Amino acid sequence: MLELLTEKFGKAIGRLRDTRKLTEKQVNDILRDVRTALLEADVDYDVVKSFIKRVREKAINQDLSKSPSPQDSFLVSIYEELVETLGGQKKDLEKGTVLFVGLQGTGKTTSIGKLSYYLKEKGYKVAVSSTDVRRPAAMLQLQRLAEKVQVEYYGFEEGLTALEIAKRAYERSKRDGVDYLLLDTAGRLHVDEELMEELRRIKELVKPSEVIYVADAMQGQSALESARTFHQLLGLTGVLLTKMDGDAKGGVALSVKEALGVSVKFIGVGEKIEDIEPFYPDRIAQRILGLGDIQSLLEKVQKAIPDDEAQVMAYRVMKGEFDLEDLLKQIRFIKSMGPLDKLLGMLPGIGAELKHVKINENMFKKMEAIILSMTKQERRNPKIINMSRKQRIAKGSGTTVSDVNKVLKEYEEMKKAMKRMLNARELPRLPKMPFLFRK
């Protein structure tokens, strides 16, 4: 996701870091690179123009030559304006009835499933319902998702109109005291009057707290054209961008705020139920600028490793007791966090390079198999693993002795690295702003 932008920005930022003195010419050169990066990533032309203008004005007003570190100041300007372009402050989803609208196949129903999961995990009471009466399969799709996530699905007898369903679902949600009622609507191939009229009347009836436009990021700028029509008629309050995991260049994410005046609130990053992320402009800007998305990464890790487990493990590492049982646990945690390339993409500086590396998920499976073929005693005390034991382990896991050696070596290195890390006593606190990169 956003790899292209990250890669292209990387070039401009690299140039910035390599300069000793930041002259006006260099500022212009860097801004030209930034401009190209944005245009190539399919960011709306007007958005690019105004972005560059704002950064340049900021640079002039600040008088970079007077700054103790002109490079950092300039980079901060780029960062700040990027955050602004992406929507500024992250805004939460208002409680109440949330109406999802958009063209056919953009991911409305799937996203409602994901979002109901996301909100339920946060402890909210969620219900979903579908007004897509033209296609019974569409309602069934939502019902299945609701069953999977275990949130309430409001189904009604056949033959009701979309409006009647909306009304009943709304009334029931009030009675049930739900925090969020997520209301699905039918999609169309093109913006058409009948659909717009139906949506308008649903809106009037349920007075939604949010009207979320679901857009397919792969469609690039054209996704925004129809969004404008929806916005005029319905007054959107936010956008959910789906398929950000695909080959989308990501430009839409940067164009939404300026084009519509509302922000992206969530992004879909895969087909699975947990593949949804709230959209944090500051974190995304950090990611694009190659500063990594440390915060999101931490959240992911914290979710996968329960606090007390993590503490026990840290304590064991410090005492030099980190053994292969612990490693096995770690492998399982990592696996439970989902595809590794997604995870690593959030790390500072790695995102852009990652494009060329193929993360070998099989490696983890192999490691797991090897460790599982060891006896408990061996896992607790890897020192006793001699040649004949290695042969037995290799055979048991369907690998070779050299594979076993690799795992053992990796374990030793990991143990050392972890110890070093914890010995640094206090891990540096993560700064909110990217002041990190003085050479």
Ligand X SMILES: Nc1nc2c(ncn2[C@@H]2O[C@H](COP(=O)(O)OP(=O)(O)OP(=O)(O)O)[C@@H](O)[C@H]2O)c(=O)[nH]1
Q: Which residues bind Mg ion (CB under 5 A)?
A: 108-109, 138
269 binds, among ligand X, Mg ion, none (CB under 5 to 8 A by kind): ligand X
Q: Are strands 238-242 and 210-216 parallel, antiparallel or unpaired?
A: parallel
106 binds, among Mg ion, ligand X, none (CB under 5 to 8 A by kind): ligand X
Per-residue burial over 138-162, b if 16 or more Cβ lie within 10 Å, else e, is: bbebbbebbeebebbbbeeeeeeeb
User: In the complex, what is the shortest distance from the CB of residue 271 to ligand X, in angstroms, rounded to a whole number?
Assistant: 4
Task: Pull the structure tokens for residue 56.
Answer: 């340049």
Judged by beta carbon, residue 127 or residue 142, the one nearer ligand X is: 142
242 binds, among Mg ion, ligand X, none (CB under 5 to 8 A by kind): ligand X
Handedness of CA 153, 157, 159, 163 (dihedral sign): negative
3-class SS of residue 233: helix
User: In the complex, what is the shortest distance from the CB of residue 315 to Mg ion, in angstroms, rounded to a whole number?
Assistant: 49
242 counts as binding ligand X under rule CB under 6 A: yes
Q: How far apart are CA 34 and CA 428, in angstroms?
A: 30
Judged by beta carbon, residue 115 or residue 138, the one nearer Mg ion is: 138
245 binds, among ligand X, Mg ion, none (CB under 5 to 8 A by kind): ligand X
Q: How far apart are CA 334 and CA 102, in angstroms?
A: 35
User: In the complex, what is the shortest distance from the CB of residue 186 to ligand X, in angstroms, rounded to a whole number?
Assistant: 6
Judged by beta carbon, residue 105 or residue 431, the one nearer Mg ion is: 105
Which residue intervals of 1-44 are DSSP H helices?
3-18, 24-40
Enumerate residues 249-308 that contact ligand X by CB under 6 A: 268-271, 275
Enumerate residues 163-192 that contact ligand X by CB under 6 A: 187
Q: How far apart are CA 213 and CA 52, in angstroms?
A: 28
Judged by beta carbon, residue 140 or residue 422, the one nearer ligand X is: 140
User: In the complex, what is the shortest distance from the CB of residue 162 to Mg ion, in angstroms, rounded to a whole number?
Assistant: 13
User: In the complex, what is the shortest distance from the CB of residue 273 to Mg ion, in angstroms, rounded to a whole number?
Assistant: 15
Judged by beta carbon, residue 164 or residue 245, the one nearer ligand X is: 245
Q: How far apart are CA 17 and CA 26, in angstroms?
A: 11
Q: How far apart are CA 140 and CA 194, in angstroms?
A: 23
User: In the complex, what is the shortest distance from the CB of residue 406 to ligand X, in angstroms, rounded to a whole number?
Assistant: 34
151 counts as binding ligand X under rule CB under 6 A: no
247 counts as binding ligand X under rule CB under 6 A: no
* Alpha carbon 279 to its chain's center: 7
Q: Are strands 126-130 and 180-184 parallel, antiparallel or unpaired?
A: parallel
Task: Pull the structure tokens for residue 210.
Answer: 């949010």
Report which residue's Cβ sits closest to ligand X: 187
Judged by beta carbon, residue 248 or residue 394, the one nearer ligand X is: 248
Judged by beta carbon, residue 55 or residue 139, the one nearer ligand X is: 139
104 binds, among Mg ion, ligand X, none (CB under 5 to 8 A by kind): ligand X
Which residue intervals of 45-129 are DSSP H helices?
45-62, 70-86, 108-121
Sheet holding 264-268, edge to edge: 152-153, 126-130, 180-184, 96-101, 210-216, 238-242, 264-268, 276-278
268 binds, among Mg ion, ligand X, none (CB under 5 to 8 A by kind): ligand X
Judged by beta carbon, residue 107 or residue 251, the one nearer Mg ion is: 107
The closest alpha carbon to 182, from 112, 237, 135, 272, belongs to 112
Judged by beta carbon, residue 187 or residue 290, the one nearer ligand X is: 187
**Sequential DSSP letters for 287-350:** HHTTS--HHHHHHHHHHHS-HHHHHHHHHHHHTT---HHHHHHHHHHHHHT--HHHHHTTSTTH
Pick the binder of ligand X from 6, 109, 129, 397 (CB under 6 A): 109
Pick the binder of ligand X from 88, 136, 235, 246 (CB under 6 A): 246
138 counts as binding ligand X under rule CB under 6 A: yes
Phi/psi of residue 433, each to 5°? -105, 150
Residues contacting ligand X: total by CB under 6 A: 20
Residues lying near ligand X in the complex (CB under 6 A) are found at 102, 104-110, 132, 138, 187, 242-243, 245-246, 268-271, 275
